Every structure is written in structure tokens, then in C-alpha cells.
Amino acid sequence: MSQGKVRVRYAPSPTGYPHVGNIRTALFNWLFARHSGGSFIVRIEDTDVNRRVEGAVEAILDGLRWLGIDWDEGPEVGGSYGPYFQSQRLDFYRKTARLLIEAGHAYTCYCSGERLARMRAEMAQRKESMRSYDRHCRDLSPAERAKLEAQGIVPVIRFKTPLEGETRFNDLIKGEVTFDNTTLDDLVLLKSDGYPTYHLANVVDDHMMQITHIMRADEWLSSTPRHVLLYNALKYEPPLFAHLPMILGEDRSKLSKRHGATSITEYRDQGYLPEAMMNFLALLGWSLDDRTELFTREELIKHFSIERISKTSAIFSMDKLNWMNGVYIRKLSVDELADRLLPFLDKGLPASISRPLSREYIKHIVPLIQERLTKFDQASSSCDFFFTNELTYDANLLLGKKLSKEDAVRGLEAALERLQAATFEAHSLEETLRSLAAELGLKTGDFFGLMRVATTGRTAAPPLFQTMAVLGKERCLKRIQAAAKKLKAEVQDFR
């Protein structure tokens, strides 16, 4: 079945917001399709009506679009095409379920919820291995069925799982996998509300959509023998299967919110770059050579292969993601970074700062923060002093570890005077302030620290002289003056 054009799909259920694991599945399928010149399909598996989550479909599609994962076909919507929705394809599943009954591979089951609950409780009491169904309706006669129908009971349709034998398939990642049929239940194919279960809809669609490779999360492995039996019963040729390695947290437990496994759109909102995110996700279970870490999108497409998907679990490291995002941030040009940063600053800076923010001004700030930025949502708090009118900080910070109040006031007043005539350009600012420190008999480290707090309100900030140059003379002088005043008013002279 692998000959011919590759066709793969990403088939999320909109039962929650898509987390990194889901999107990793989408990405691997997409990379494989792009690598092989095949087609990538998005199919929303929304037949579990009770578990649908409002907004989940939008979050899934937004996440894909943000990463640039595009799909190749689907029903027409407003000039372009949307993903497939299983809820719009119910007739296919119902028809197939009826065909399976006619062929003797499925049957109608009239058991009520209460009966099933009772049956399970009794089994538990007898310590029998738990089955979800005891096959009570499997061998009812046509007359018995007719009688139950006449009572108005709407049945479910169940698959007649073979009572013995084994089901085998070859997984492209795990190798040969074998399940004993006696461990498999007579699973429900069509529910009494007329909606298919995941198993039926998934198999019907993968066949109708001519999917060649199913690449999905490891957790679906136990569903696969059921699907293989269904393919056989329907006389469909099964696609090839590849179950992707699990993603674990750094403590080797199942990945959860605690490890940072939030929805993909939250990463976007925190200011991760899509190109960094794609690179990071691609390495969760795939590698080229166990060494290379940085891949452009084109390189990923060029090199991706199922053979290089690992059998062992992948470890999700937030530190690695942050590192990688920093690498990608440093690769951006000043213009690009300014453009991408602007909406985050707009959102994060206090409302008191007048809008619109100046792109030109941001372009001056960018080179000062680019080196140390790991993600964009930090930017507004780390550089708000470039924008605010008045700084708020504890006056004691001005003294640093060593300065006396007297020296600090002296330093600020001397700087105020000297800087009136200075050119606000990093080099000459440095020269001016360095010689001033010597004249005052202050250590440069102490004096520069004082200037840093006075002009930015913080002890750690981007390089001092460049920062002062960007802030400009007027603002710096005002701040130095305010600092001297603050120091006099707020700090006791105890040193």
C-alpha cells in the first residue's frame, strides 16, 4: 500500500485544546507529506458529541496556521478549503455499519446502560477480567431482535470480534505487533444516537480518503488491532501504521501541564517563534544524526524520514525550548524583531504609555535586548523603562553594595552637570562618565551602577551607555535629577 502517492492525515478530536503532543503528530505527518511530495489532510474527528469543547477546532487550526502547517484538500469553504469534519459524513459510517451487519461481521445490541453496569459489577465481584461487554446480544435470533425492536429500543451496532486467533500488524516504528483476539471486545461501531465511534469513523475515513500511512500517538496502538480486524471485515486494504514515541517530562512522567505542556496557542501568546517551535517539536522523537539541533523548515522537510523516528520516548525540556527560541530570536534582523515584538509590547506595556508605540523607537531598543531575550512576553517587563515617564524603584538600589548616600548624591549631581553638554552617543558617554568617576574618586563599577539605577530604575539592564543613548539626553537628565531627589528624601544617611 505504500507505493504510489503518500497521503497522510492529522485527525484531532476537538475534545480539548491541542497540546504539544497533538501538534507533534500533525507536524510529523506534514513533514512526511512534504518530504515525499504527498498530500496532508486535516480531519476533525468530532463524533463524540458530549466531549466536544467550544473553541477547540479554532485552536487546532490556529495552531497549525501559526506553525505554517498547511493542508492540501478538504471541502470548499468561502473560496478556500477547510478541514474535513466527521460530523458532516455520518451517512458513510451508518451505511458501512449496515454493510457489516449484512456481511455477518456486526450485530445490533439492545442492552441498556443499567444492564451493562450490572454486568460489569458482577464480573468485578467474581474477579473476572474486566470486559466492557459479555456479548449478550451477539447470538440473538432474528425473532428475538424483532421483538426488542418492537419495544422501541434503539440498538447500538457492535463489531463481531473473532473469538479466537491473533491479530498482527507491522508497525513501521515498533516492528511486528501481535494482539490476542480474546483480549478484544465486541466494540461499539455505531451508537444509539446514530453517531459512529472513533473506531468505525476512523477506519471508514482512512479508507475513503486513501490514506497510505497512519502516523499517530502511541496511545492508539491498542486500537490498531481492532482497526485491522475492521479493515479485514470490510475487505479494505489497511494502510501502514507508525505509532509515535511518547513524550515525557524531564522527570520521565507523562507529559502534563506541569511540564509546560500547554496548548500550542499559549506558546504563541507567550512569544515563542513558530520557526523555533517547529524545530523543537520536530526533535521530539525524530533526529537526523543525534547531533544536529537546528533545522530550518526546508531542512526538516528535506531530511525527515520515518526510519529516523525513535522507538524510545522523547523528553520535553522547557529549557531547551527556551534556548532554541533565543537562538532563533538572535537570528532575526532588527526590522523583523521590531515587527514581531511590537504587538507583544503593545499588549504588555502599561496602559499609561501612549499608543501607538513607535516602531522607529523600538528599532533602537531591539539591538540592546536581542542578545538576552528568550521569549517575547518577557520583553515588556524587561524594557518598560524605555517607555515609562516616571520610574518607580527603591531608592536604596542607587547605593548598590558600596556607595554611601553622600557619594551617590555627589555622583548624581556631578553627572547631571557634566552630561548637560555631552553628546548622547554610547562611546562618548562612556568616556565622559569614566573620567568623571575618576575625578570623583569613585570606582567605575559603583558609579556606573548608580547611573544604571538612576536611568533605568533597575540594577540589571541592557548595556548602560547604549541604553542612555536610546533614552536620550532629556529623559536621562530628568531621571538623574529625580534620583538625587529621591535619594535625599528616602534614604537615611547611615553608612
Residues contributing to the site for ligand GLU (CB under 6 A)? 11-13, 45, 198, 202, 216, 220
Give the Cα separation of 352 and 389 in Å (integer). Answer: 9
Element (H, E) at 248: strand 247-248
Nearest CB to ligand GLU, comparing residues 210 and 333 = 210
Please state, as a whole number, how many other Cβ atoms lie within 10 Å of the Cβ of residue 257. Answer: 9
Minimum distance of ligand GLU from residue 2's CB (angstroms): 18
Give the Cα separation of 55 and 407 in Å (integer). Answer: 60
Minimum distance of ligand GLU from residue 44's CB (angstroms): 9
Torsion of Cα atoms, 62 then 67 then 73 then 78, to 10°: 40
Query: How deeply is 357 buried, as exposed, middle or buried, from its count of CB atoms within 10 A (0-12, 13-18, 19+)?
Result: middle
Nearest CB to ligand GLU, comparing residues 90 and 397 = 90
What is the number of residues in the chain? 495
Which candidate in 191, 257, 320, 402 is catalytic? 257
Please state, as a whole number, how many other Cβ atoms lie within 10 Å of the Cβ of residue 160. Answer: 18
Residue 122 carries which side chain, given as an amino acid letter?
E
Nearest CB to ligand GLU, comparing residues 41 and 484 = 41
CB 202 within 8 A of CB 11: yes
Nearest CB to ligand GLU, comparing residues 160 and 216 = 216
Minimum distance of ligand GLU from residue 217's CB (angstroms): 6
Nearest CB to ligand GLU, comparing residues 10 and 385 = 10
Minimum distance of ligand GLU from residue 25's CB (angstroms): 7
Nearest CB to ligand GLU, comparing residues 205 and 430 = 205
Minimum distance of ligand GLU from residue 366's CB (angstroms): 40
Minimum distance of ligand GLU from residue 220's CB (angstroms): 5
Minimum distance of ligand GLU from residue 218's CB (angstroms): 11
CB 227 within 8 A of CB 179: no
Give the Cα separation of 244 and 249 in Å (integer). Answer: 16
> How many helices (DSSP H) and strands (DSSP E) are in the chain?
19, 14
375 a catalytic residue: no
Please state, as a whole number, how many other Cβ atoms lie within 10 Å of the Cβ of residue 154. Answer: 11
b/e map 371-407, b = 16+ CB within 10 Å:
eebbbbebbbebbbbbbeeebebebebbbbeebebeb
Minimum distance of ligand GLU from residue 211's CB (angstroms): 10
Q: What stretches of 370-440 show up as alpha helix (H) in DSSP?
A: 379-382, 405-420, 426-440
Give the Cα separation of 485 and 347 in Å (integer). Answer: 32
Whether the link from the prior residue into 356 is cis, omega within 30° of 0, is yes
Nearest CB to ligand GLU, comparing residues 13 and 380 = 13
Give the Cα separation of 157 and 196 in Å (integer). Answer: 9
CB 456 within 8 A of CB 399: no
CB 186 within 8 A of CB 137: no
Nearest CB to ligand GLU, comparing residues 133 and 198 = 198
- Grouping H, G, I as helix, E, B as strand and the rest as coil, residue 147 is helix
Tell me which residues are annotated as active site. 257
